Structure 1
Amino acid sequence: MSSHQGLRRKAHFLGTKIKSLRKRNNLTLEDLSVRCVQIDADAGPSVSYLSMIENGKRVPSERLLEIIAEIFQKKTSWFFDESLDDEAIDTAPAAAVSGMPLEPGFLFSESLLQLAIPELLAQTGTTGRQFAHLLIRAHQESRQNRFPDIERAAESVGKKQFPMHVDNLFAIARDLGLNVQWFDNSTFEDKGESDQPLSTLVRSFFDAPDKVYLNRELEKDPARLKFDLANHIGHMVLHGGDGARAPQVSGGRVTGRRHDGESMNVDAKDILYAWRDFECSYFAAALLAPKTPFRQFLARQAYAIDAGDKIDLTKTLVMRRMPSVSPYPHWHYFDAYPPGNLRAVYRGNGIPLPWGNMTLVSDPCQHWAVFRMLNTRSTEPSSQISVLRSGDDKRLYCCQSIRSEDAAGNPHVLCAGVDLAPALAAQNIDAKRTIDMIEASCNSSGGSAPIPTEARKQLESISKILNIGWIEQGAATDATIICQRSSSCPRDKHCLGKAPPKLKPQIDKIREAVLNA
């Protein structure tokens, strides 16, 4: 019996297996169609044809079956047996920070928190903006950076047009009654979060009820011009253009602030403005990169962090948009400024922070890709596989980082990454064994080493299944062991040469001495 005759006999069961594979990997029919066309445009099926195959109403050609097998890294013979892999990729990533029980409850009443939080922030030197960003980040991570209401609002205005050109945005602004005006202003020097001088540029601002002011410097950079204009369109759509939002600024300490003052007093408007800035930024990204067409675009570009260069989208927008549109939920991203300030953080995969985003730590691990890229002048993307040790917990990450410049000319590093363990587990691979294998290789060479052949082949397979090209690129280079703090380095050969002694608190010593007497 030919394989094609076998396909006809088992059309319904074969369709069920394809559907099961697709859903296990969180792909829509449209996603799978795009992936097939990527491999072979002539043999790639339409969405409707794929649906008929999954429902047993059509039989895929041998070539199409080969394409689907390649996408999901299966042998074609697998489609003829009667087994099903039911385990789906985990869609609920571990929380980045463990929640704290609010006990006893009376101490966490709303009235007491309203009094205690401003005092806490004032005494720790935390601004209202910084506190707001912590709250917003926690909200983002709990929602996996997905806000469908904002997506729908953007799509209703932009009609899912992609790519969106500058002229299209000006037309939308006119339709909404916005009056766009230009101003001239160059960069100036301001202090950054670490009190180091940074070039600063006021890019644009909104003046209620309907005026948008754009810096002529943006005419030199269509990608940033598009983002700022889309951002203000978002304010008009979401907030009626009431003007309660911060200017759009690149560079120094005023970035994202309502005003230039440095008062430690918490102003409720700081939190309101920070949230509105987030909403408008998310709207702008959804307007310029609508979910379905942008997801297909990223699939064609294998999720390259600089893919937006081809269609005038900023690298920052592309990085921040990836977790919102990808079928794989286990993402993180960092936007880091020298010497180690995090301007933007998302930890949907639960990755610990390499340093604080409000204050610098004294002993950050220097082996994170984002640190390495801060200290290089290369502007090419770089991929890295990392084993992260946090106590007894071991995780495996891959990231792609790129050094860029903001609108004011300040260097910074953008880093997008994924947790690989859930993807390995979804393919019935023992993730712990793979991580141990890579860690052992790294430890044998002082902390960084080539990935063992078996593990490398597994990661290459995952790269093809997730369609994230930089996983395979990272697997071809040395993996490295990273941690949160150099002083607690988990490498066999400690980063600092010798681990500092862990001293037991004197009070504990006294207690033990009394109890053992």
Structure 2
Amino acid sequence: MAKVASLIRKSHFLGTKIRNLRKRNHLTLEDLSARCVKQDPASAPSVSYLSMIERGQRTPSEAMLENFSSVFQKPIDWFLDSQPEAPELAPDKGNSGGIMGMALEPNFLFAKEILQIAIPEMLSQAGISGRQFAHLLIRAHQEHHQNHFPDLERAADEVGGKNLYLSVDELKSILQQKGRTLVWFKQDSHPDQGLITSYFKEPNQVYLNEQLKQHPARLKYDLAVHIGHAVLHTTEGLECTLTTGESRQDAHTFDHDTPNAQDILRAWQDFESSFFAGALLCPRTPFRQLLESRGYDIRVHQQLGISASVVMRRMTSVSPYPHWHYFDAYQAGKLKAVYRGNGIPLPWGNMRSVADPCQHWAVFRKFHDDSQQSSAQLSILNVDGKPRLYCCESVKIIDVADRPRVLCAGLDLTPAIAAQGIDADALVGELQQACIQHGGASVVPYHMKTQLLRVAKILNIQWVERGLDGVVRVICTRGKSCPRQPSCYVERHS
């Protein structure tokens, strides 16, 4: 009995280690159970018992642990708390993007009841509102699924008939068919309050700001979002207020500083309707065909009569290449929207400001560019101790509230390089050293350019080719991690 109790006290990470080890070896629960039967039928766990072990609900016997040890060729001590190796405890995300997760271990500390008590307290001390937490949950969910929500796509296709060229009048007609009455109102943008572009009022009225008459691309988006709410959600208790302008991004405030179930649901409904709107205006199949024919040129938004932000966000969802990111930013590092399906770190915090953000990110540099043309940039960033090569396309726009914004769509080129049989780590590492030797930026050496040009042509993204004609810049997430020699942050503050 004492031996069992001792094993329990040493096995808090055991379930996570076994699950990640099993997945890394491409084994199902059935496969692992069968392997254990082959080693020793008497101590082998059933599939259901093995599932409970992985979830931290059961502790294996010493004999069963020896069985696991034989199957995976690991010493018994490896499975116990004395060796909580970081790679073994990080949740296996497969090809999914987003930041690295953490195992919910020891399991008893992450019980549902404990989390329900601890999360509001944690958010209160961190200064994060219920709305921000809701959006953080949704963003993690979105990145984990790499922006694929086929049920919302199907709903949008049924409503719009996969029409890539829906007009304002057609969208109005669809909204009215869904039982909504359209009412125009007048409100000018306020320097401290931004602009409310539209809102829903029970039981069936959608109010549209008259300023949208001068901005049909934004009008299309607002109409599409309200169609999404009408199709996906009931009207009872529905709240939908669309805004633009940096200081109004929290205009649709929730009732509580700490999250509750209704806050989370409301935020999720807003996300669903926004995603639906993108799928309605840019149906997957015809939009992907258009992008392929135009080399993913973001100027297709002009041809479609929709905003650049809708086109760039939708790119990340319809492209066959999964490793995308997207930033929608106001000056001074305020993020309106973020998507990181390629796991790229944030250049600054959108819930807290940082004193030393790297100014070499394309999204920062574009704020100081008066050109209305889009620009491509190749960047090298250290992630998890290894340099990765990114390329992005950025464009500066003026929104309906007359505020400048920078939209940035980009992708991690490292997996695409490796897919061509090239040693991606070696190539990007060599390119990083060339940049550092030239003060942090360099042209792409010819022998690398020919390899990367081949990758760009296979991806069929024309702005990656344009990026190869410019310089590659070394970037970092914070000045304290600047890889340039000497550090540009130290120079700027010495």
Q: How high is the TM-score relative to the length of structure 1?
A: 0.74
* 1:486–1:239 distance in 2 versus 1, CA, 3 Å: same
* Cα offset, 1:270, TM superposition: 2.9
AA aligned opposite 1:98: M
Q: 2:379 aligns to what?
A: 386
Alignment of 1:44-443 (within 5 A): 92-93=94-95, 95-190=97-192, 200-259=194-253, 264-390=257-383, 392-443=385-436
CA distance in 1, matches of 2:295, 2:368: 26
Tell me: higher relative CO, structure 1 or 2? Use CA pairs within 8 A at least 6 residues apart.
Answer: 1
Superimposed CA distance per residue, residues 229-252 of structure 1 (whole angstroms, 9 cap, x where no aligned partner): 010000000003335233001114
Aligned partners of 2:387 and 2:432 also within 8 Å? no
SS in 2 for 1:189: coil
* Cα offset, 1:423, TM superposition: 0.9
Question: Please, which runs of 5 or more residues in structure 2 have no aligned partner?
Answer: 1-92
* Cα offset, 1:331, TM superposition: 0.4
Sequence identity percentage:
50
Q: 2:82 aligns to what?
A: none
CA distance in 1, matches of 2:311, 2:126: 34
CA distance in 2, matches of 1:417, 1:380: 16
Aligned partners of 2:366 and 2:395 also within 8 Å? yes
* Cα offset, 1:159, TM superposition: 0.7
CA distance in 1, matches of 2:331, 2:407: 12
* Cα offset, 1:355, TM superposition: 1.0
Aligned partners of 2:323 and 2:411 also within 8 Å? yes
AA aligned opposite 1:356: G
* 1:252–1:246 distance in 2 versus 1, CA, 3 Å: farther
Of 93-102 and 338-347, more deviation after overlay is shown by 93-102
* 1:268–1:409 distance in 2 versus 1, CA, 3 Å: farther
Superimposed CA distance per residue, residues 124-160 of structure 1 (whole angstroms, 9 cap, x where no aligned partner): 1111111111101100011100100000001111110
* 1:97–1:283 distance in 2 versus 1, CA, 3 Å: same
AA aligned opposite 1:145: N
CA distance in 2, matches of 1:148, 1:246: 23
CA distance in 1, matches of 2:228, 2:189: 26
Superimposed CA distance per residue, residues 242-266 of structure 1 (whole angstroms, 9 cap, x where no aligned partner): 35233001114442543487x6343
CA distance in 1, matches of 2:324, 2:470: 21
AA aligned opposite 2:120: P
CA distance in 1, matches of 2:491, 2:217: 48
CA distance in 2, matches of 1:111, 1:454: 58
Instruction: Say what the alpha-carbon RMSD is for the aligned residues.
Output: 2.0
CA distance in 2, matches of 1:407, 1:432: 43
* 1:466–1:183 distance in 2 versus 1, CA, 3 Å: same
* Cα offset, 1:161, TM superposition: 0.8
- Runs of 4+ in structure 1 over 6 Å off: none
CA distance in 2, matches of 1:228, 1:103: 43
Q: 2:471 aligns to what?
A: 478
Q: How high is the TM-score relative to the length of structure 2?
A: 0.78
SS in 1 for 2:194: strand
* Cα offset, 1:308, TM superposition: 0.4
Q: 2:63 aligns to what?
A: none
* 1:162–1:243 distance in 2 versus 1, CA, 3 Å: farther
* Cα offset, 1:267, TM superposition: 4.4
* Cα offset, 1:353, TM superposition: 1.0
Superimposed CA distance per residue, residues 298-321 of structure 1 (whole angstroms, 9 cap, x where no aligned partner): 112211233202221111111110
SS in 2 for 1:496: helix
* 1:259–1:483 distance in 2 versus 1, CA, 3 Å: closer
Aligned partners of 2:386 and 2:425 also within 8 Å? no
Of 443, 446, 458, the residue aligned with 1:450 is 443
CA distance in 2, matches of 1:498, 1:248: 43
Superimposed CA distance per residue, residues 471-507 of structure 1 (whole angstroms, 9 cap, x where no aligned partner): 000000000111111112112332134799xxxxxxx
CA distance in 2, matches of 1:355, 1:99: 19
**Number of residue pairs the alignment of both structures matches:** 401
AA aligned opposite 1:177: G
